[in-house]
Amino acid sequence: MTGLTQTEATTGQTVDDVAVDVRGLTITFTAAGKTITPIDGLDLQVRRGELVCILGPSGQGKSTLLRAVAGLTRPDAGSITTPEGAVTEPGAERGMVFQQDAIPMWLRVQDNVAFGPKLRGVPRAEYQPTVDHLIEEVGLDEWRRAWPRQLSGGMRKRVAIAAVFANEPSILLMDEPFGALDFFTREKLQGLLLQLWAETAKTVLFVTHDVDEALLLADRIVILGKGRVAQDITVPFARPRGDDLRSDPAAIELRQELIGRLGEK
């Protein structure tokens, strides 16, 4: 399976198709007196409805890229554009699920899922049906009135997922959301994410260091290197993908290749 180069990946796309357009992005940090440039002239285009995994070990700038798309970190150079316009600030059209629990611990589950619409002043009659539906879909119907503190880590992630979907963003940004969970919980949540994604056709940018997770979820896998996109690989397997992916020889070969390319840096 040959990986496409950056230019090859971007030919043939019309402007309407592109949900996230990153051009020449550069972000520098100063940490302990040293200047680090995790993102250096990065270009990336994500099509509408695509699920793109940004894969790689920690510290290579994956989270930085995601936060820039979210509008939480302002770039030093370059631009990020969505159909709503240039990205300068966070906005409700770009929802995010954080790695560490970021849901308000002082709101019960039902208020947590409704948090986004309430923040934006949406009337209750408008958001309540969506909120109720999502609480059920993520399997937390019995826990509506629970405090987050009373929930397990996996359940809190479900709340986060339900909450971000309840806000109906067109772009979903996920920063290693299942990294802190055990294998079985992770599996269930991956399935839940794919289910919700299939229902709502959002554009998803998913950061992970787990190759298997990327193979399960992604339409495309992007590997960063030297501050830019180093590899951009289309994952050809049909959906729904499941356990058979582990035994499929083509998948095994791609897996090996990815691990190899990850190690190249």
Partner 1 sequence: MTILASRLGATTEPETGGPDRRSSRARPGTAWLWPLVGVIGFVLVWALLAALVRSSAVLPGPWEVAKNFAANFNGSPALKYLGLDVTSYVGNLGYTGSIVLSGWLIGAVIGVVTGLASARTQWVRNLVEPVTTVFGVVPILVAAPFALVWFGTSTTGKFLLIVFFSAATVLVVAQSAALALPLRYEEYAATLGGGSSARLRRVVFPATLTTTLTGLRAALGQAWGLEVVAELLGAPAGIGRAIAVRAGTGDIASVIALILALGILALLCDAVLSLIVRQFAQWQTDKEPS
Partner 2 sequence: MSAPTVTRPVVTASRASRSGTVTRTRPSLKALGAGIVLFAVAWEAIALVFAHTVAHPEYVMPDLWYALRTGLPGLSDYYSGRLGGHPPALGGSQSAWLGILALVDNSLTSLYRVVLGLAGGVVIGVTAGLAMSWSRPLRGAFGGVANLSRMMPLLAMGPLFTLWFGAGSAASIAFIVFSVAPIMLMATTTAVERLDPDQLAWARTLGAGHWRIWTQVVPRSIVPEVAGALSVASVLAWSVLLASELWGIQDGLGWAMGQALGFTQISEVMIIALTFIILTFCTVRLLGAAVRRLSRWAD
State the residues that interact with partner 1 by CB under 8 A: 70-72, 89-92, 94-96, 98, 100-108, 115-116, 118-120, 143, 145-150, 163-164, 167, 173
What's the token pair of residue 106? 């002082």
Residue 116 touches which of partner 1, partner 2, none (Cβ within 5-8 Å per kind): partner 1
SS3 label, residue 245: helix
Q: Mark residues 205-244: x for contact with partner 2 by CB under 8 A, - for none.
A: ----x-----------------------------------
Q: Which amino acid is at 77?
A: A
Nearest CA-CA partner of 55 in 236, 252, 219, 238: 219
Out of partner 2, partner 1, none, what residue 130 binds, judged by CB under 5 to 8 A for its kind, is none
Distance CA 176, CA 70 (A): 14
For partner 1, the closer CB: 142 or 243: 142
List the beta bridge partners of residue 232. Answer: 4, 222
Residue 104 interacting with partner 2 (CB under 8 A): no
Torsion of CA 172, 173, 176, 182, to 10 degrees: -20
Nearer to partner 1, 24 or 91 (CB): 91
Measured distance CA(115)–CA(97) in Å, rounded? 14
Task: Choose among partner 2, partner 1, none what residue 176 binds, the Cβ cut-off being 5 to 8 Å by kind.
Answer: partner 2
Interaction of residue 107 with partner 2, rule CB under 8 A = no
Candidate residues 4, 92, 180, 192; the one interacting with partner 2 per rule CB under 8 A: 180
- CB nearer to partner 1: give 164 or 215: 164
Phi-psi region of 193 (alpha: psi -120 to 50; beta: other; left: phi over 0): alpha
Q: Which run of H or of E encompasses 261?
A: helix 249-263
Provide, rounded to whole angstroms, the least separation between the CB of residue 38 and partner 2: 6
